[in-house]
């Protein structure tokens, strides 16, 4: 649900900043699409983990038992997200310079 709520804001931001990916020979999309699509997914995932950790039930207890591994997984996920955002921005800059 959070992804559905966060996506329009990220789409609006990407369009306002001109972060749009255009179709090309190496692209799978046939029309222009906003970049930064991983951000809403990351927000929803992080929010879900935080909510689960705040609960007082077996699932939360299981999460707390593997807290170290969970922190490593979330850290790696955030790193991958940042690499994707940097890649989107670098591609966008390169496309603007070749026009």
Secondary structure element (H or E) that encloses residue 33, with its range: strand 33-34
**Residue pair 85/38 in contact by the 8 Å Cβ criterion:** yes
Name the one residue in this structure whose structure tokens are 């955030």: 78
Task: Report the pLDDT averaged over residues 81-99.
Answer: 87
Q: Which domain holds residue 74?
A: 2-98
Dist. CA 58–CA 55, nearest whole Å: 9
Whether residue 99 is predicted with pLDDT greater than 70 in this model: the reply is no
**When comparing pLDDT for 95 and 83, which is higher?**
83
Total domains present in the chain: 1
Name the one residue in this structure whose structure tokens are 């496309």: 95
The confidence score (pLDDT) of residue 49 equals: 92
Helix, strand, or coil here: 21? strand
Q: pLDDT tens, 25-82?
A: 777 878 888 989 899 999 999 999 999 999 999 999 999 999 999 999 999 999 999 9
What is the reported pTM? 0.76
């Amino acid at each position: 649900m959070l992804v559905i709520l966060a996506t329009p804001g990220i789409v609006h931001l990407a369009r306002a900043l001109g972060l749009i990916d255009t179709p090309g020979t190496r692209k799978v999309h046939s029309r222009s699409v906003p970049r930064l699509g991983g951000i809403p997914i990351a927000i929803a995932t992080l929010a879900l983990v935080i909510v689960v950790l705040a609960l007082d039930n077996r699932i939360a207890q299981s999460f707390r038992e593997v807290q170290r591994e969970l922190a490593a997984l979330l850290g790696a996920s955030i790193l991958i997200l940042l690499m994707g955002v940097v890649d989107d921005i670098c591609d966008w800059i390169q496309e603007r310079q070749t026009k």
